[in-house]
Structure 1
Amino acid sequence: MDEKSAFLGTENIRKLLFKLSTPIVIGMLVQAIYNVVDTFFVGMVYGADDVQAIGGLSIAFPIQMMVMAFGIMLGTGGSSIISRALGARENEKAERTLGNVFSLSLILSVLIAIPCLLYLNPILKVFGATAGVLPYAIDYLKYIILGGTVFVFGVAVQNIVRSEGNARLAMNAMLVGGGLNIFLDPFFMFGFGMGVKGAAIATVISQAIASVWLLLYYLKGKGAVRFRSETLKPDLEIVKEIVAIGIGSFVMQCSSSFMMIFVFNALATYGGDGAIAVFGVIIKVNSFIFMSLLGMGFGLQPIVGFNYGAKKYGRIAEAVKLSLAATTAIGILGLLIILLFKEQILGLFSADPQYLEIGENAITIMLLGMPLVGMNVITSILFQALGKARPAFLLSISRQLLFLIPLVTLLPRFYQLNGVWAAFPVSDFLAFLLSGFLLLRVYKIFKEYKESLKTATGSETADQISSI
């Protein structure tokens, strides 16, 4: 079984990283399309009123991401355990982890749905929903929450598939889901006249089909990790390890949503519905850059996990160096493209004059720190793959909880609406410094091991990493 993943410890690092990351980046870009397509068609359906409709989707977005955060937690934690288990030839542990991820996906999605549906209205108001955007947000979110199981399961299993080195399958599942969403959105929204409800239903159906495809992959025994029904029973030790490792990614995703409470409330105070709509559009456009960075990180993850389990630390150091160079280049290129075509990009969603005026200024300021974000993403995923929960957790919360929330609370008092936009690049810079500091410590350990195997045994290197 583990022979299917053995290439992670032998193949040329540059070729391996390219082979794993390319399909993941493509798949993540398709995932970004999920977010943008709904907003694009909502703008077309509601015409002159689309600023409030787009604002409704903007408010709904962080809550949707919180639902998916549970899948990210299960997938990140589970994939780290599985890739390290395959590298160490602990096949039975990998199987138990896979089964636990499956069962936890169902349990958690049900536990999420009940309180969210009961208290959806007050939850949205906490997130800063104004009277104008609230009805649209409710219409969209109630269907997304009802379909929560397919989001949690789909996101989790995509990570598991990548952990065994099968990035192409994860990409294909995302392509199928994204393609269906593009087709079904106008079908429900225009054909049946369902508006934002149709957008939500189309998204759920698309994700459900992609999730079933991934499920069949394991049920048919095609994976490097064999699925057995008896492994569905929750194993407390496995669950604890999944949560310990995945909590960083969970908090990162939830902190993004939690951060938006402060952002949306600041925007409602200093900019109104137009500023809320602008922020939602920028976040979704920016997701094309951020998802690409995550794709590089997810391509790195199985390489790190497998080679750490196999005690091939020099390969990890090389992979990290290449990943940092690639994510920095992606950040710079993405920023330049958005800034050069900002008018055209904003105009795709609305022609409202106030929206366009606010948007051109906001997009210029908000995204200035994107070339620095790759450092935070790669370093966080590195520590997750190594199974080092504490530094992974710290890095996961640094950008948006430790830095952005205080900044978005403080800066608008002095610079009003521009202070909200400026909080983003400043927090990116601070997270870059923290990530660089932690990365330098672990990178030195791997580099020393690579240069002189005589001065550090595998166990000594592992002990050094554990002390970080």
Structure 2
Amino acid sequence: MSTSDEFGNKPINLLLRKQAIPASIGILVLSVYGIVDTIFVGNFVGSLGIAAITVVLPITFLISSIGMGIGIGGASIISRALGAKTPEKAGKTLGNQLSLTLFLGVTFCILGYVFIEPLLSAFGAKGDILKPTVDYFSIILLGIPVLAYTMMSNSIIRAVGYPRVAMYVMIVPAVVNIILDPLFIITFDMGIKGAAWATTLSYLGSASYVAVFFIQGKTGIKLKASDFIPNWKITGEIFSIGSVTFARQGVVSLLYLVLNNSLYKYGGESSIAVYGIINRMMMVVNVPALGITQGSMPIVGYNYGAKAWRRVKLTMKNSMLSGTIISSCIFALIMIFTPQIIRIFSSDPELIKETVPALRITFLATPLIALQLISSAYYQAIGKSIPALLLTLTKQGFFLIPLLLILPNFIGLKGLWIAFPIADVSAALVCMAYLFYDNKRILINRA
């Protein structure tokens, strides 16, 4: 029995723990790296450094989402192919993924350099923020192709039943970055450029680890030279499912474009720094929900391919319940210890004073995050791109961006913060209503 065959035989709760715990640890370590990076920049470069990282982050993830989308799209196909006992399709899919990621990663990296200043300016790099942002982004761009390759590979590694390896793929860059940050920023006095080099080298370290895993042949998927030649049917399916991820990251980047410019308009440069801290905390707070979401996808995909409808339904139920309970506990801790958490990032009393109420408001609907994420991921896992796309865009696209454009006109800066919990609640209601309807219509009838 291959490693992936466990998805169809072992108890669901055991599989979820086996998949979700390593995924959560990996995301947590990666989030901690982001926090440590912000702490070093905030304390040794200043608030402009935090603002620069905040501006660059959505652009970086927009470009690297190429690999993420190709990875999730291909992983869905591979999971279902393994469940249906068609390994040849799994091999062709993996080969196409590798070719697509390399080509598109390099292409968008080049475009990033060509349009660097207009791009950064559009995302809020104005005034004193522009120069450190250009310094940071021009170095980060070098690592974008390998970051895309790593993100693509991570989804495949989970799909073939190696959650611990996928965890290490995320831990490696975090550890490398945490080691290099103080060396480059403090010892070598490289400032924001030091933070950028530390991050870029960390991407390279992670990509090297992934390459060793693939070379060792542990995926159980046999690759032939012909697998790397684009197969338009498979490529179309990869992009159809992966387009959900592209769209999500595209909308997130549009969100940052709207948000950063609104923050600058209503609160100035300090407000962008405030959101930089909030955004880093969101990464940590969302870790359990993201880990459970990523852990559930290969289980759902495999059992859907094997037509094991009861196991699909049980995986969804247990994922949502555990994600909501854990997120609720973290929400309580965040509300109680808000000032103490913010002081980790900065000793600036004005920045702390401004961040405390903003952070509490934006995190009000945290317990509902798991419901949103798992609902949209479910449809990606089973290969249904349209509902996956619509549910994915619900929060940022249908609710948050319009609210960010409307509310500040009436209540100023506070309207930007209030938009977040309103969007979270609205999106959770829509996602659960659709999933309940679809579950009743399809899964129960098949059981």
Q: Confirm or deny a common fold (TM above 0.5).
A: yes
Determine the structure 1 residue equivalent to 2:213.
217
Could you give the per-residue CA deviations for residues 226-260 of structure 1, whole angstroms, max 9, x where no partner exists?
Answer: 23333122211111101100111121122111101
Output the amino acid matched with 1:338. Answer: I
Counting only pairs closer than 5 Å after superposition, residues 66-81 of structure 1 correspond to structure 2 as 66-81=62-77
Unaligned stretches of 5+ residues in structure 1: 451-468
Equivalent-residue separation in structure 1 for 2:23 and 2:222 (angstroms): 22
Counting only pairs closer than 5 Å after superposition, residues 256-275 of structure 1 correspond to structure 2 as 256-275=252-271
1:356 maps to which of 333, 340, 352: 352
Determine the structure 2 residue equivalent to 1:380.
376
Equivalent-residue separation in structure 2 for 1:243 and 1:15 (angstroms): 32
| 1:56 has 2:52 as partner | yes
Aligned 8 A contact 1:219 1:227 in 2: no
Could you give the per-residue CA deviations for residues 35-78 of structure 1, whole angstroms, max 9, x where no partner exists?
Answer: 222211112212xxx11111111111111111221111011101
Per-residue deviation, 1:109: 0.9
Determine the structure 1 residue equivalent to 2:4.
5
Equivalent-residue separation in structure 2 for 1:363 and 1:332 (angstroms): 16
Equivalent-residue separation in structure 2 for 1:233 and 1:91 (angstroms): 17
Determine the structure 2 residue equivalent to 1:23.
22
Output the amino acid matched with 1:245. Answer: I
2:427 maps to which of 403, 428, 431: 431
| 1:302 has 2:301 as partner | no
Determine the structure 1 residue equivalent to 2:328.
332
Determine the structure 2 residue equivalent to 1:33.
32
Counting only pairs closer than 5 Å after superposition, residues 280-429 of structure 1 correspond to structure 2 as 280-429=276-425
Helix, strand or coil at the partner of 2:364: helix
Unaligned stretches of 5+ residues in structure 2: none
Per-residue deviation, 1:196: 1.3
Per-residue deviation, 1:335: 1.5
Counting only pairs closer than 5 Å after superposition, residues 110-189 of structure 1 correspond to structure 2 as 110-189=106-185
Equivalent-residue separation in structure 2 for 1:359 and 1:21 (angstroms): 31
Worse-superposed segment, 101-110 or 27-36:
27-36
Equivalent-residue separation in structure 2 for 1:442 and 1:398 (angstroms): 17
Per-residue deviation, 1:448: 3.6
1:199 maps to which of 195, 214, 237: 195
Helix, strand or coil at the partner of 1:133: helix
Counting only pairs closer than 5 Å after superposition, residues 445-464 of structure 1 correspond to structure 2 as 445-450=442-447
CA RMSD of aligned residues (A): 1.3
Equivalent-residue separation in structure 2 for 1:292 and 1:112 (angstroms): 31
Equivalent-residue separation in structure 2 for 1:200 and 1:229 (angstroms): 36
Aligned 8 A contact 1:87 1:309 in 2: yes
Worse-superposed segment, 306-315 or 223-232:
223-232
Helix, strand or coil at the partner of 1:368: coil
1:250 maps to which of 240, 246, 251: 246
Could you give the per-residue CA deviations for residues 205-231 of structure 1, whole angstroms, max 9, x where no partner exists?
Answer: 112111121122122211132233331
Aligned 8 A contact 1:34 1:203 in 2: no
Aligned 8 A contact 1:88 1:310 in 2: yes
Could you give the per-residue CA deviations for residues 167-214 of structure 1, whole angstroms, max 9, x where no partner exists?
Answer: 010112222221111101111112221111111111121121111211
Equivalent-residue separation in structure 2 for 1:369 and 1:110 (angstroms): 38
Equivalent-residue separation in structure 1 for 2:295 and 2:147 (angstroms): 21
1:65 maps to which of 58, 61, 79: 61
Equivalent-residue separation in structure 1 for 2:351 and 2:368 (angstroms): 28
Determine the structure 2 residue equivalent to 1:460.
none
Determine the structure 2 residue equivalent to 1:463.
none
Aligned 8 A contact 2:64 2:105 in 1: no
Worse-superposed segment, 36-45 or 356-365:
36-45
Equivalent-residue separation in structure 1 for 2:349 and 2:269 (angstroms): 13
Determine the structure 2 residue equivalent to 1:109.
105
Could you give the per-residue CA deviations for residues 285-317 of structure 1, whole angstroms, max 9, x where no partner exists?
Answer: 110122331211111001111001100010010
**TM-score (structure 2 length as normaliser):** 0.97
Helix, strand or coil at the partner of 2:128: coil
Output the amino acid matched with 2:209. Answer: W
Equivalent-residue separation in structure 2 for 1:365 and 1:224 (angstroms): 47
Aligned 8 A contact 1:42 1:53 in 2: yes
Output the amino acid matched with 2:116. Answer: L
Per-residue deviation, 1:362: 0.3
Output the amino acid matched with 2:320. Answer: L
Per-residue deviation, 1:132: 1.5
What number of residue pairs does the alignment pair up? 446
Could you give the per-residue CA deviations for residues 411-446 of structure 1, whole angstroms, max 9, x where no partner exists?
Answer: 011111110000111111111111011211232232
Output the amino acid matched with 1:343. Answer: P
Aligned 8 A contact 1:218 1:226 in 2: no
Equivalent-residue separation in structure 2 for 1:4 and 1:344 (angstroms): 44
Identity, % of aligned positions:
37
Equivalent-residue separation in structure 2 for 1:192 and 1:276 (angstroms): 27
Output the amino acid matched with 2:150. Answer: G
Per-residue deviation, 1:447: 3.0
Output the amino acid matched with 2:443. Answer: F
Equivalent-residue separation in structure 1 for 2:257 and 2:38 (angstroms): 20
Runs of 4+ that moved beyond 6 A? none
Helix, strand or coil at the partner of 1:128: coil
Aligned 8 A contact 2:84 2:306 in 1: yes
2:227 maps to which of 227, 231, 237: 231
1:96 maps to which of 92, 96, 118: 92
Worse-superposed segment, 396-405 or 129-138:
129-138
Helix, strand or coil at the partner of 2:412: helix
Could you give the per-residue CA deviations for residues 72-94 of structure 1, whole angstroms, max 9, x where no partner exists?
Answer: 10111010000000000110110
Equivalent-residue separation in structure 1 for 2:430 and 2:200 (angstroms): 38
Output the amino acid matched with 1:449. Answer: R
Equivalent-residue separation in structure 1 for 2:300 and 2:438 (angstroms): 13
